Amino acid sequence: MGKQKKRWLKIFGFIIIVLGIGFAIAHYVVKSKIENALTSKLPETVKLTYGDLGVSLLQGKITLSKVKMTNFGKTIPEPNLEMTLEQLIIDGFGYWSFLVNKAIFIEAVILNSPKVTYHHNPNISKEAYKVSNKQSFNTSIEVKQLLLNQGFIKVLNSETDSLKLQMEEVDISLNDIVYNNNTKKNRIPFDHGTYQVRFQKFFGQMSDYENLRISEAALTQESIALRDLTLRTKYSKETLSKIIPYERDHFNLQVDSLVVKQPNLSVVKDTIWKFESPKVAFHNPVFKVYRDKLVTDDERIKPLYSKMLRELKFQLDLERVLIHEADISYSEKVKADKKAGTVTFKAFNADIQKVSNTYKSPTKTVLNIETRFMSHAPLNAVWSFDVNNQEDLFEFQAEIDLLQARYLNSFTEPNLNVRLEGELDKTYFTISGTDDASSIDFKVKYQDFDVVALQDNGQEKNKFLSDVINIFVSKNSRSKQSSFKEATKDNIERHKTQSVFNFIWISARAGLLKTMTID
């Protein structure tokens, strides 16, 4: 019995030794193949270096440390992408799935402290970046979890080396990633489950004139939350006026927070992008707009909002957009020797329904607005239009409570050389229009109204001109029949090279002038 036991122990020991040697050989072979693939199987445009390679066959785990990858452009022999990684971990590789089904299954892919710099070449067409199905990977891939920790991303213009985009502290968690023959045909070539994305200190160059900054962002399938967002012109007002070929707004938008509920980006009809959300909310935006009217006019046609939505190159479906407690000011410089005139909207709140180009008639986009015009006068407005109406028919109804005329002087004095006095106790108007023209029904109650024309210096009263003007302007609205004056003005022609708000303004102005002018 003792000899038998020894014999079995020897056999068992031999098996262990053989397995150990076999495992060591397998480990060596696998590691060698990985090292060979990393040095010789990569595309010619890719250069990869790393500090250490760790392989665990039992865990199906590969670890690369101190990784540096450089991709060289095909058209320009200079690096267009550089990436460094403290550590790359591929964990839970499924041998059985690979050997039997020729499919890749991985429990987790982890990228620790990646730093990515991309050099964007504006001369390369978008078509050059597209990958055809013939070039795509044919093996099915499933990754249960992709983790990117503490990333840094930077995009530079390869011609000027200027910064186009940057974000810091990037954390990404993407679950249940699937790539196969079915998904690779889609515009987004893979499916995925839940996700979480966080980043800080975002910078983006939106155009040659404006930059976007976001202090902090969090994205999940439940919501997008952006904190401390700013979109502003990167030049001073004076500098912008010197470098633009024609009129352009100088603006500064600051938003405490922007929240998008249940965002969904998808592809319809295989090629068309669609973005939808039941609710988008802007909290405490401050929006300052300045326009220098001394710059050459921009003669391009400005479409109404219905046409802008209708002609978007993607589908948009926002059920509701809310603006909470905004502060808006618009300044316009008309005369070189005068400061810009300013119009303000304080405590601006808006509930906008159906910001969309996907619904069918007779559903309409409706804007419900409450604000304080010129910092004090309560203003309520309802603006509606049907995005499917080819004539861009719209209706704009407004009601303004007590408006002290002197508050308008911050705009009328520098721009029109006119000072207003008196009160507009109550104002109602309805504008109905198309892309070509509008009509307005105007009703106003006012008293002690006076128009004071100013001398060229903008300070002293031009008595003669003031007297002439006030011959045609009624001082109050009271008559035997009513305390209100009413008027209708038709065929107010739209200046199509001017903005949507200019059309609202000239329509309201036409109604006001006809109402207050003595018959």
Residue extents of the structural domains in the chain:
36-205, 211-519
Cβ–Cβ under 8 Å, residues 277 and 319: yes
pLDDT(372) > 90: yes
Q: Rounded to an integer, what distance in angstroms lies between the CA atom of residue 516 and that of residue 478?
A: 11
Cβ–Cβ under 8 Å, residues 402 and 426: yes
Of all residues in the chain, the percent with pLDDT exceeding 90 is 59
Cβ–Cβ under 8 Å, residues 492 and 439: yes
pLDDT(366) > 70: yes
pLDDT higher for 353 or 271? 353
* Confidence at residue 450, expressed as pLDDT on a 0 to 100 scale: 85
pLDDT(135) > 60: no
pLDDT(6) > 70: no
* pLDDT tens, residue by residue, 429-451: 999 999 999 999 999 998 888 88
Q: Rounded to an integer, what distance in angstroms lies between the CA atom of residue 382 and that of residue 374?
A: 19
Q: Say which residues have a Cβ less than 8 Å from residue 22's Cβ, sequence separation at least 6.
A: none
Q: Which of 148-152, 227-231, 329-333, 466-470 has the lowest mean pLDDT?
A: 466-470
* Confidence at residue 199, expressed as pLDDT on a 0 to 100 scale: 98
pLDDT(352) > 80: yes
Cβ–Cβ under 8 Å, residues 488 and 427: no
* Confidence at residue 293, expressed as pLDDT on a 0 to 100 scale: 95
pLDDT(227) > 60: yes
Given its phi and psi angles, is residue 58 left (phi above 0), alpha (psi -120 to 50 degrees) or beta? alpha
pTM value? 0.90
* pLDDT tens, residue by residue, 21-69: 655 565 555 566 666 656 766 777 888 888 988 877 777 788 889 999 8
* Confidence at residue 357, expressed as pLDDT on a 0 to 100 scale: 96
Q: Give the CA distances from residue 490 to residues 487, 494, 511, in Å, rounded to whole numbers and listed in that order.
A: 10, 12, 9
What confidence category does residue 401 fall into, taking pLDDT thresholds of 50, 70 and 90?
very high
What confidence category does residue 94 fall into, taking pLDDT thresholds of 50, 70 and 90?
confident
Q: Give the CA distances from residue 382 to residues 278, 361, 396, 511, in Å, rounded to whole numbers and listed in that order.
A: 21, 19, 6, 18
* pLDDT tens, residue by residue, 169-214: 999 999 999 998 888 888 888 999 999 999 999 999 999 999 999 9
- Give me the phi and psi of 454, to 5 degrees please: -105, 155
* pLDDT tens, residue by residue, 290-313: 999 999 999 999 999 999 999 999
As beta bridge partners, residue 102 has none
What confidence category does residue 131 fall into, taking pLDDT thresholds of 50, 70 and 90?
low
* Confidence at residue 270, expressed as pLDDT on a 0 to 100 scale: 72
pLDDT(129) > 60: no
Q: Rounded to an integer, what distance in angstroms lies between the CA atom of residue 109 and that of residue 236?
A: 46
SS3 506: helix
